[in-house]
Structure 1
């Protein structure tokens, strides 16, 4: 197996990658920008295109790994931010999907979409976004 760059080995398996719809022009994001988009505080890609965020259930191990390792927050902190926006009427929660296969389909068919997947789920309909 090929090493996954600067990513440290994960006991449960491989790294979880940030992915986007093929039409997204942004190639890399900072952790802060990625966190702002997933927290639904920033609703667009850096180029101004509307961002559509997809996430797995909070108790999904892939969701937990992505949020902790890539966003450096805990799943319950993200959920709290979403709940606050929904209940105050200032925003909405991201679209939730049941599993990685559904995540792949939704990102591949939704312009401006972003989410996360393990490497084995990638195909040529989506792209990996690098994170600084």
Structure 2
């Protein structure tokens, strides 16, 4: 009986930890020198879909995306872009086929994302909010 209780409690704890990780806050980031102070989800979505090549202030923008396998990417796509990964993949397949654009460059990790954004004022990316430091500036979080 005692081992059944331990297994149940362990699975319950595992579920709680998983839920906490899924609900972690995500920050959309830019270079600290970027004049943008905040961006609406619709503006971010337009940038990541290649519909806008500039920040609202008129400066050029280069979106950087997390890898297809990153859980934070699925959260970003559904929360900010209101699309699933398969919808975004289909969208970019059509754009590539018609010669109307290329998807954002993907990085392997949030550390790489932060490094790229911190080194180029034209870039925009997203990372877990707990990883934000003075090397980047948050323009939207959810």
Q: How well do the aligned residues superpose, as a CA RMSD in angstroms?
A: 1.9
Cα distance in 2, alignment partners of residues 57 and 130 from structure 1: 20
Which residues of structure 2 form unaligned runs of 5+? 1-18
8 A Cα contact 2:27 2:141, kept in partner: no
* 1:118 aligns with one of 128, 132, 141: 128
Deviations 1:31-60 (A, max 9, x none): 211111111111110111111100111221
TM-score norm. by structure 2 comes to: 0.79
Richer in helix (by share): 2
Which residues of structure 1 form unaligned runs of 5+? 1-8
* 1:49 aligns with one of 59, 62, 68: 59
TM-score norm. by structure 1 comes to: 0.84
Does 2:79 match 1:69? yes
Cα distance in 1, alignment partners of residues 120 and 95 from structure 2: 23
**SS of aligned partner of 2:80:** helix
